[in-house]
Structure 1
Amino acid sequence: MSTVVLLSTRRLPPTYFDQVREDLGDQNITIDVVGWVAPSAWVADKVNTFTLIGPGRMPAQPAPEPEPVAEASEEAPDAVIAPEAVADPDTVVADEAKIAPAASEVAAATGAADAASTTAGAAAASPPPPAAAKPRPTGAKRVVKAVEWRARRARKVAGRMLPKAIKTSAPVKFLRGQRATSDLGKTYWERVLSRRDVMATIDKADVVVALDAGAIWAGWNLGQRKASTPVVLGLPAARREFDQLKAPAGNG
């Protein structure tokens, strides 16, 4: 069974690995991933290993679907009333006479509680006293604050002086993107090189594939270190390498 190690600095969905197997022409291929960013969802059933070397956490395993619960019948059995549960009319009249004074007492207590609640609400609605003013910095702190303020103002003025058409132009965006990619590529390679588990996984690979621009620098360095293992950019080049591995010896 062939093994491929994918180097990636982008977020990959689980369906991407199905596409990898299809593009490489082998559904039984073993896939190990060294990712800077965690996948978008659970991938343990799609790859052999996914080693996250960047920030963040791996997605949690989805919870199993709950089993269906049988619905209870809405029909209730006929209620049976015991004869002794039915009150005598004379008893009901006597109870009503006892309840009337108690109800008047409850109403008086409720009115007093409402009045107290209204007074408390009016007190809460009054605005709190204003907070004391923050003391201004003095001495060395005042000098530091003044320097920071002037630096921020200088940056704002410099940004306004540069025309918006230049800041948003394609060449400037390209240069910014290249710089960000270069910084990420170097950081990614340093992290790969410092992880023994990652290097051990790469040592077992038949082909190593750098999937994006952020992983190119790591792929190039691995190609210099491991001349016996093909290190390529993109899946089409990986497919050619796997086809050569499967070809009978002597067919060139």
Structure 2
Amino acid sequence: MSNVVLLSTRRLPPTYFDQVREDLGDQNVTIDVVGWVAPSAWVADKVNTFTLIGPGRMPAQPAPEPEPAAEPTDAAPDAVIAPEAVAAPETVVADEAKVAPAAAEVAAAGAASATPPPAAAKPRPTGAKRVVKAVEWRARKARKVAGRMLPKAIKTSAPVKFLSGNRANKDLGKTYWERVLSRRDVLTTIDQADVVIALDAGAIWAGWNLGQRKASTPVVLGLPAARRELDMMKAPTT
């Protein structure tokens, strides 16, 4: 049985680990995950371990489904009403005639009290408060004008997106690697792996450093490269 460690900085759904086993060609592979972000749902039944080293909390275990209620086997007996408990028709009519006027008076009083008083007008700022409000308004307007000065085509262009995304991945990659180094349990899990797989750009820096520290363990980027490493391990030696 092979043992792989997945390095990830993205949110992974539980179904992803079924895909991992299919792509690796081994349904019995043991999967340990070192994640910066918690999975989107409960994954204890999908992986061996999931170690969260970033912010957030692991999802709670879902509550078990309630068992269906048993249907009664015997029909309940019909209720028996005593004749003296039934009021005569003329009595009911007389009671309604007495209650109706009183109920109408109560409803009218409630409607009158439910009408909300008119809201008082908000006083306009004066003096120093007025100056502060004016300065804040001009600052907001200046930020909007500055944002419009850079054409949208430039802000959304591929080079700008690449540079901003590359900077974010680089910062996350360094933080992720530092957190891996600070966790003895994570390093122990990695030492027991047959293959270490960096799944995304944020985990590449950690994968590269792990490859330099322990050359005997293959550290690869992506599942196809991991499949080749596992196939070579399983191939008979001549």
| TM-score category of the 2 structures, normalised to the smaller one | 0.7 to 0.9
Q: Which residue of 2 aligns with 1:107?
A: 100
Q: Which residue of 2 aligns with 1:170?
A: 158
Distance 1:174 1:92, change over 3 A: closer
One-letter identity of the residue aligned with 1:68 = P
The whole-number CA distance in structure 1 between the counterparts of 2:124 and 2:195 is 66
Deviation, structure 1 residue 4: 0.9
| TM-score calculated relative to the size of structure 2 | 0.81
The whole-number CA distance in structure 2 between the counterparts of 1:18 and 1:37 is 19
Distance 1:80 1:159, change over 3 A: closer
Q: For residues 171-190 of structure 1, what are the structure 2 equivalents within 5 Å?
A: 171-190=159-178
State which drifts further: 155-164 or 214-223. 155-164
Distance 1:72 1:137, change over 3 A: farther
Q: 1:160 aligns with which of 140, 148, 163?
A: 148
- The secondary structure found in structure 1 opposite 2:172 is helix
1:58-112: CA deviation from partner (whole Å, max 9, x where unpaired):
222233233232334796545556xxx334xxx959x839x83x55543342233
The whole-number CA distance in structure 1 between the counterparts of 2:184 and 2:149 is 49
Q: Which residue of 2 aligns with 1:216?
A: 204
1:22-42: CA deviation from partner (whole Å, max 9, x where unpaired):
332332221100112222222
**1:96 correspondence with 2:84:** no
Q: Which residue of 2 aligns with 1:130?
A: 121
Gaps of 5+ in 2: none
Q: Which residue of 1 aligns with 2:215?
A: 227
Distance 1:110 1:22, change over 3 A: closer
The whole-number CA distance in structure 1 between the counterparts of 2:183 and 2:163 is 31
- The secondary structure found in structure 1 opposite 2:167 is helix
One-letter identity of the residue aligned with 2:71 = E
The whole-number CA distance in structure 1 between the counterparts of 2:172 and 2:216 is 27
The whole-number CA distance in structure 2 between the counterparts of 1:111 and 1:153 is 57
**1:118 correspondence with 2:111:** yes
State which drifts further: 64-73 or 35-44. 64-73
Distance 1:136 1:218, change over 3 A: farther
Deviation, structure 1 residue 149: 6.3
Distance 1:154 1:31, change over 3 A: same
| TM-score calculated relative to the size of structure 1 | 0.77
* Bigger-Rg structure (1/2): 1
Q: Which residue of 2 aligns with 1:42?
A: 42
The whole-number CA distance in structure 2 between the counterparts of 1:26 and 1:136 is 75
The whole-number CA distance in structure 2 between the counterparts of 1:26 and 1:15 is 16
Between the two proteins, what is the percent identity of the paired residues? 73
The whole-number CA distance in structure 2 between the counterparts of 1:153 and 1:218 is 44
Q: Which residue of 2 aligns with 1:31?
A: 31
Deviation, structure 1 residue 222: 1.3
One-letter identity of the residue aligned with 1:32 = D
One-letter identity of the residue aligned with 1:71 = E
State which drifts further: 110-119 or 230-239. 110-119
- The secondary structure found in structure 2 opposite 1:199 is helix
Deviation, structure 1 residue 48: 0.4
Q: 2:190 aligns with which of 202, 213, 238?
A: 202
Deviation, structure 1 residue 135: 6.3
Deviation, structure 1 residue 215: 0.7
- Cα RMSD of the aligned pairs, angstroms, is 3.3
The whole-number CA distance in structure 1 between the counterparts of 2:71 and 2:195 is 55
Gaps of 5+ in 1: none
